Structure 1
C-alpha cells in the first residue's frame, strides 16, 4: 500500500508539473509553401536563440514545443534560395502560428522536395537534375518526360520495362542476358545509366521498388552529363530514388500472378532523432517468376536504405545505397541467318515463340551495389556547394546464352561461361549560384567531374552443335554438364581494362526579361583510355580498334556545348523554346596513314512549345528535333583493314507528351513519337537506310484512368492503356533485311485505394499479341497480376 501511495503521489505531482510547464511555455507551429501554394517538404527551420532546428514534413508543417516565452528569430532556409528571418513572439500557454510562402524567384529547392498535390498527380515535372539547377519545366529549353511513382503504382509496374511504356518513343524494351534493360530514344539505344543525376550504371536487373520517378532526358546531353552517363545521342534515363521524409510511415505489399509470379515489397520511413533532422528510409523487394516459355526463371532481392541529416541550417547530407542480387536464365536472343538478297520477317521464320533451347541449370547470378552520397552547403544567400560521390559495382557469374542462325532452319547455341565485373566511380563538385546582375537574374552551375571506369573479364565462349529450330528433337537439352565439358575448347577472354575522364563544365541561365531566358553551357572533357591488360600474356594493348587494328592506350579531348532560348508567351503557363545541344563519344583506332581518330560528335537543333494550363490540369510538350551525327567511323573503301572517319547519320522527328486531368478523378497520359533516322554517309551496304535496332519510326502510348473522388466507393478506379509501334528492323542492309512486325499491346487494371490499404488487379497484353524486341526476344502473352498493400 505504501508503494502504491508513493506511485500515486508521484503521478499527481508529475501531472501538476506538466500542467505548470505547459502554462509557463508556449509552442511555435506553421507551414512552409512554395509560390503556387504547394507545400514544401524538407525545408530547414531554425529557432536561432535556442539553436534548435527541424525540417518541414510532407505537408510543409513544422513544430517547436515547450518554448520559453520571449521574442525569437525564426530562420527559414532552403538550399539555393535566400534565407528568411522572422520575428516570433511566444506567449506562455499559447501556440504561435508562423506560416511562410517562398517568393516567386525561389520556386524550387536545390535538394529534392516532396510536393503533395491532388491536381494532375501524373505530371510532376519539376526536377533539380535536368539542368543541375533549380529550373522549372517551362523555363528549361530541353525536353524531358517524367514517370511519377503515382503512375507506377497505379499501373502496378514491377520492372523498368513496364515503367518505360509511358515515355514517348521508348518502344518495347530490350532485355539483355543479365536482366539489364535498354530502350530506344530518338532512334538511338538508351540505357538507364543515371541515378540521381550522376553515373549509376547497373549491368543487371534494377528493381523499381526504390524509384520515386524515372526521367527521360531527350537529346544529346553530354555537356552536363558527359559520356559516362549519357548512353546515346537520343538522351539518357535518370532514376530518381526515394528520399527520407519528416515523419513515420510506410507500406508493405504483396503481388502474385501468372507463371508463379510472387513479389513482396516494403517501404519504411522514420525520423531518427527528436528534432527530426536525421531521417531514415528503407525500401526493398524480393521477386520470383518463371518464364512463360518452356524453361527459364528469375529470382531477385533488393535493399535500398537511405539516410538524410540536416547537420546545420546550412549543411545537409544525403546517403543513398542500392543493393541488388539476382539469379536467372538468359532471355532468348536470336541472331537469324542472313542470306544474300533476302527480305524476311521474324513471323515467317517459324522460330518457336515459346522455346528457349536452354536449361534451367544454365543460370547466371548477379550482384549490384550503388552508393550515392551528396553534401550540400549553403555558402551564402547566393551560392551553394554540392559535393557528390557515386560508386557503382556490378558482377555477373555463370552462363549467358545466345542463339546464332546457321541456315534458314538451324541455329548454333552459344554460351558464355565465367565472371564479368564492372566498377564505376564518379566524383563531382558543383557550385550553384542564384544572383542578379543589375535587374537580370542568373542561375549558374560550375562543376568539376572525375569519372573512373574499371572492367574485368574472366570467361570463355562455348559453341554448341547446330540444331534444327523448326523440327527440334523432343529430347534436345543443353545441360550445364555439356557446356562445362566443352569449355576447355572455347574462346578464352581474361583481361582488365579501364579509363579515366576529367571534365569541367559551366552553365548559365540568364533572364533577359522576366519572360525571356537564355541558357549557355560548355564542357571540356579529357578522356584517358588505359588499354586492355591481357592476364594470359601480360601485355597491355588497346584492344581491337577500328579496322581490327591494335590501337593501344590513348587520350582525347572534346568540347561540348549547349545553348537554349525560352520565351514565356503566358507567364508560368505557356513557353516557346529552342535548343542547340551537343554529344560525343570517344573513338579508338588508327587510320591507314597512321593517324588517330577524334571523338565522334552529334549536334541537335530542337524547338517546340511547353504548356501548363487550366490550373495544372493540362501539361504537355510538343517538339521537333534534328540530330546530325558526324565523324562516324566507316570501312576505308581503299583498304578494308582500316576505317576512315567521315561517316554521317541523321535523326529527326516529332514528339508529343501530354498529361491531363479534365475533371476530378480522370487522368490521361498520352504520347506520340515520330522518328526518321538514316545513314547519310556510310558503308555502301547501309547508306541511305534506317539503322537496324533503331526501333519503330512511329510509336504511340496512352493511359486513361478514372478514380471515384467521393461517395461510398471513393478510391475505386479503372485504368486502360496501350502501346503501339509500326514495323522495324533487326537487320537492314541493301542485301538483307529482318523485319520486326508492328504491334499493339493493351493493358487494363482495376483498383481500390484507401488510406490504410490498396487492392489492385491488372492484365498486361490483354489480347496476347505476339511481339518482339529489337533483339528478337519474344514478349510475354497476357499476364495477370493481383496485389494487396497495407499502409501505416
Structure 2
C-alpha cells in the first residue's frame, strides 16, 4: 500500500514534461499515419441551423473552415448520417442549400454561393484536413460536449470518457442538466438542479452552505472527492460553499464507480459542472428577479468578439442577490462574478483563461432533533421556520476565488493535446450554535453549545492528456493517455462555548450568554498530493459495437499536522490501480444496450490495533443498461440496473473496541429509468424513477448486517412537463408543471423513519421580442416536510415564488 516515488517533480513541471514528451514518444509509423488519409467519423446529425452544423463538424475534426455568417444566414442543414471524413460531412450538410464547399490555397475550406440545388453524392477532395488555416475561428457550438445543449436533451458529454463522446456510446449511466432546464425550473442550488434526475438526491435539507449529494446510496461531495468543475477536482471541504448555477452551461453526473478518469472519489459517482465559455456570437443579457421573502436579484451575461477577426473572444457573467429564506434569521445573499477570455489563433489552437469570485452570506441550519420532527411529541412537530442558532452572531460568511486556464492544440485531425490548470481558494467565517436532544418535557434540548469556527481551503489541479484517433481495419480507436495532479490543503480553527440554558424548540428565547471559548484541537491541519496516470481506448467496431477499456494508477500522500502541541505529525502514502471495461451495441433504430464494470477508491487515514495503515476503500460496480434515441428525434430514454459494492469499510475491532478493522462492506442495488422527450410540436417531458436498495452486507457487529443505509429511500419519482401554446394561437407562451415524490427512508444517525413526501413545482413564461418574462413556483402547495435526517433532521424548501424579466439583445 505504501511506497515512495523515485523522483518528486512539482505537479506543474510534471504535467509540462508529460505534455511535451508524449508527442515525441509516438512511434514513427503512428506519426506518419496521423498525417495520412483523412479521418473517417460516424455522424448522426439531424437537420438544424446550417451555421451551427458546419461549426460542429469542423471543430470536432480540427478542420480550418471560413464561413461568411451573412451567407449562411437562416439556412437549415441537411441531415448528416453515415461514415464520412470531415469534408464529405460538410458537403452532406450543405446539400440543397445552394452553397458549395471549396478548398483554399492555405489548406483549409470555405463556403460560397453557386452549388447545385442538390448534391446527394459526397465529393472527395484532395487536401488532407491536417493543414490548419491561421485566421479561422471555430467556437464551442450548441450541442457539443463542452458547450450549451439545445433544449433539455444533451447528446454528448465528456463526463464519461474525457473525450467529446455521444452519450449513446458511453457504457455507464450519465445524466445531464442543461442551462435551459435550469432557467426553466429555477432550482435553488446545484443539488436542486438534479431534482428531476434518477438516483441523485440531497444529503441535507434546505442547506445553503454545501453541495452535498447522495448518489446511488452513497454520500458524494467535495469532502469525498466527488465534485468536479470542467473536468478537474473542485473544492476541498464540504463547507467550501455552493456553486452559482447562473455561471454554468450544464451540470453532469456520472453514476457509479469512476476512479478511472477522476482518481479518488466516492463509489456512488461524480458530479461535474461545465462553466460558461467565451463565444464569438454576440451575447448580451440582463435580468432582474423579485420573489417572496424579500428576494431581489440582478444578473447579466455577456460575450462576443474582442477583435474584428475573432481571435479573442470573451464571456462575463455576474449576479447580485439579497434575500431571506423560509427559516428565521437565515439570509441568502450572494455576489458572483465570472470571466473568461479565449485566444484562438487557428481552428487547431486555443488558450482560455478563466477567473471567478463568489461571496456568500447565509447561515448553516443545524439539524433539528428527531424528537421534535419525525417522532411523536405532545407539542407536535416544531415549525419549519425554527432557527436554533444565535441571531446576530451566527453566520456563514464565505468567499471563494478560482482561476485557471485550458490549452488545446490539434496537431492534426487525429492527434490532440489538452492541458489545464486550476487554483481554488476558500475562506469561511463560520460561527454557529447547536441544539440537540429532547428533554423529558418534550420542548427543550438536552445539549446547547456555541462554536467559533474559521475554515481555509486551498487546491491546485492540473490535467494533461493526448487524444489520438486511428483506424485499424474495421476498428476506429480513440486513444486517451493522461496525467492529472491535485494538491489540497485544509485548516480549521474552532472553539466551543458552553451555554448554561437549554434551547426551547417551541418558544425560543435567543437571549442567553455563551461562556468563554475552549479551543477545539481535535482537527489537524491537513494537506495532500495526488498524481494519477490514466489510459483509455474507445474502440468503435464496424460502426456497431463500442468497446471502452481503461486503467489508471494513483499515488496519494496525505499529511496531518495536529494543533494540540502534543500529537506527532503524520504522513500516509497510498497507491491504487483501478479500471473500467464497457460494451455498447448501436442498432439502426436508436437502441443502444450497454454493459460495464468500473472501480473506485478512497484513501482512509488511521491505523488498526497492530499499527498497520488502513487500505483505501474499494468500490466496484456492475451495470447493465439500455438507451433509446431514435435518429433525428428529440428523445432520450435510459434504463439501467446495477450492483455497487464498497469494501474495506471500517467496523469495530471485536478484540479491542477502541480500534477499527477493515472488514465492513456496503452494497447498493438498484434500477433507474430516465426519459427526456418532445411530444409533438408543443409538449416536452422529463421523467425519472429510481429504486435503490442500499444496506450493510458485512460488519463485525452482527446487528448491523442487513441494515438499510440511512437517508436512502427505496423509491423516488419525478416528472416535469411543459407545453408551448404557440400552436394554440399564443406564440411565446409556455407553462410547466412538475411533481417530485421521495419515499420513506431511515435516518442516517437518527433513529426513526423519515416519512415520504410529494411536492409540486410550476412555471409560466412568455417570450416576446428581446424580452422573456417568467414566474416560478417551487413547492406549489407550500408543503411542510422533512427532506432528510442525517445527524439531525432537516426541513425541505417551503414555497418559493420568483418573478423574472430578462432582456436579450
Provide TM-score, normalisation by structure 2: 0.80
* Aligned position for 1:272: 306
Whole-angstrom distance in 1 between the partners of 2:216 and 2:572: 31
Contact map agreement 2:66 2:111 (CA 8 A) in 1 = no
1:505-549 alpha-carbon deviations (Å, 9 max, x no partner): 011111233201111111101111122242x528642xxxxxxxx
Q: CA deviation at 1:34?
A: 7.9
Give the 5 Å matches for 1:216-365.
Answer: 216-227=253-264, 230=265, 232-336=266-370, 344=375, 350-361=381-392, 362-365=394-397
Structure 1 position 591 matched with structure 2 position 591: no
1:620 to 637, 642, 651: 637
1:196-228 alpha-carbon deviations (Å, 9 max, x no partner): 11112271122111111111111111110111x
2:764 to 735, 746, 750: 750
Contact map agreement 1:40 1:60 (CA 8 A) in 2 = no
Q: CA deviation at 1:601?
A: 0.3
Whole-angstrom distance in 1 between the partners of 2:542 and 2:191: 42
Contact map agreement 2:71 2:112 (CA 8 A) in 1 = no
* Aligned position for 1:489: 518
* Aligned position for 1:165: 195
Whole-angstrom distance in 2 between the partners of 1:58 and 1:459: 62
Whole-angstrom distance in 2 between the partners of 1:271 and 1:283: 15
Structure 1 position 516 matched with structure 2 position 553: no
Q: CA deviation at 1:61?
A: 7.4
Q: Helix, strand or coil for the counterpart of 2:193?
A: helix
Q: Structure 1 pair 466/102, CA: closer, same or farther in 2 (3 Å)? A: farther
Aligned residues: 706
Q: Structure 1 pair 594/730, CA: closer, same or farther in 2 (3 Å)? A: same
Q: Structure 1 pair 111/360, CA: closer, same or farther in 2 (3 Å)? A: farther
Q: CA deviation at 1:442?
A: 0.4
Q: CA deviation at 1:180?
A: 1.2
1:445-465 alpha-carbon deviations (Å, 9 max, x no partner): 101111111111122133433
Q: Helix, strand or coil for the counterpart of 2:549?
A: strand
1:44-80 alpha-carbon deviations (Å, 9 max, x no partner): 989xxxxx98789899879xxxxxxxxxxx99999xx
* Aligned position for 2:94: none
Q: Structure 1 pair 177/343, CA: closer, same or farther in 2 (3 Å)? A: closer
Q: CA deviation at 1:666?
A: 0.6
Q: Which moved more, 1:683-692 or 1:495-504?
A: 683-692
1:399-427 alpha-carbon deviations (Å, 9 max, x no partner): 13433225463322333313101111111
Structure 1 position 582 matched with structure 2 position 599: yes
1:636-655 alpha-carbon deviations (Å, 9 max, x no partner): 01110111111111101000
Contact map agreement 1:506 1:521 (CA 8 A) in 2 = yes
* Aligned position for 1:13: none
2:625 to 608, 614, 617: 608
Give the 5 Å matches for 1:266-665.
Answer: 266-336=300-370, 344=375, 350-361=381-392, 362-405=394-437, 407=439, 409=442, 410-411=444-445, 412-472=447-507, 475-477=509-511, 482-483=513-514, 486-492=515-521, 495-534=524-563, 537=565, 540-541=568-569, 552-570=570-588, 573-613=590-630, 615-665=632-682
Whole-angstrom distance in 2 between the partners of 1:313 and 1:98: 26
Q: Structure 1 pair 118/175, CA: closer, same or farther in 2 (3 Å)? A: closer
Provide TM-score, normalisation by structure 1: 0.82
Q: Structure 1 pair 406/111, CA: closer, same or farther in 2 (3 Å)? A: farther
Contact map agreement 1:53 1:277 (CA 8 A) in 2 = no
Contact map agreement 1:702 1:721 (CA 8 A) in 2 = yes
Structure 1 position 713 matched with structure 2 position 730: yes
Whole-angstrom distance in 1 between the partners of 2:506 and 2:142: 57
Whole-angstrom distance in 2 between the partners of 1:98 and 1:303: 47
Q: Which moved more, 1:379-388 or 1:114-123?
A: 114-123
Q: Structure 1 pair 685/759, CA: closer, same or farther in 2 (3 Å)? A: same
Contact map agreement 2:247 2:338 (CA 8 A) in 1 = yes
Q: CA deviation at 1:589?
A: 1.6
Extract unaligned runs of 5+ from structure 1. 1-32, 47-51, 63-73, 79-83, 542-551
1:135 to 141, 159, 165: 165
* Aligned position for 2:778: 764
Whole-angstrom distance in 1 between the partners of 2:630 and 2:638: 12
Q: Structure 1 pair 274/741, CA: closer, same or farther in 2 (3 Å)? A: same
Q: Which moved more, 1:162-171 or 1:654-663?
A: 162-171
Contact map agreement 1:173 1:182 (CA 8 A) in 2 = yes
Whole-angstrom distance in 2 between the partners of 1:713 and 1:187: 44
Structure 1 position 115 matched with structure 2 position 130: no
1:738-769 alpha-carbon deviations (Å, 9 max, x no partner): 22110101011111023401111121111221
1:214 to 240, 248, 251: 251
Q: CA deviation at 1:363?
A: 1.6
Whole-angstrom distance in 2 between the partners of 1:345 and 1:216: 38
Structure 1 position 684 matched with structure 2 position 702: yes
Extract unaligned runs of 5+ from structure 2. 1-42, 75-85, 91-99, 130-136
2:103 to 75, 84, 87: 87
Contact map agreement 2:494 2:521 (CA 8 A) in 1 = yes
1:72-111 alpha-carbon deviations (Å, 9 max, x no partner): xx99999xxxxx9942599xxx9934999999xx9xx998
Give the 5 Å matches for 1:122-201.
Answer: 122-172=152-202, 174=204, 179-191=209-221, 193-201=227-235
Q: CA deviation at 1:336?
A: 4.3
Contact map agreement 2:549 2:582 (CA 8 A) in 1 = yes
1:164-209 alpha-carbon deviations (Å, 9 max, x no partner): 2121122345268662121221111223721111112271122111
Q: Which moved more, 1:518-527 or 1:117-126?
A: 117-126
2:752 to 735, 738, 741: 738
Q: Structure 1 pair 712/249, CA: closer, same or farther in 2 (3 Å)? A: farther
Q: CA deviation at 1:42?
A: 6.0
Q: Structure 1 pair 322/256, CA: closer, same or farther in 2 (3 Å)? A: same
Whole-angstrom distance in 2 between the partners of 1:41 and 1:154: 29
Greater CA radius of gyration, 1 or 2?
1
Contact map agreement 1:44 1:313 (CA 8 A) in 2 = no
Q: Helix, strand or coil for the counterpart of 1:393?
A: strand
1:259-301 alpha-carbon deviations (Å, 9 max, x no partner): 1111111101121011112111111111121122332212111
Q: CA deviation at 1:494?
A: 7.2
Contact map agreement 1:41 1:58 (CA 8 A) in 2 = no
Q: Structure 1 pair 309/45, CA: closer, same or farther in 2 (3 Å)? A: farther
Whole-angstrom distance in 1 between the partners of 2:70 and 2:319: 24
Q: Which moved more, 1:756-765 or 1:703-712?
A: 703-712
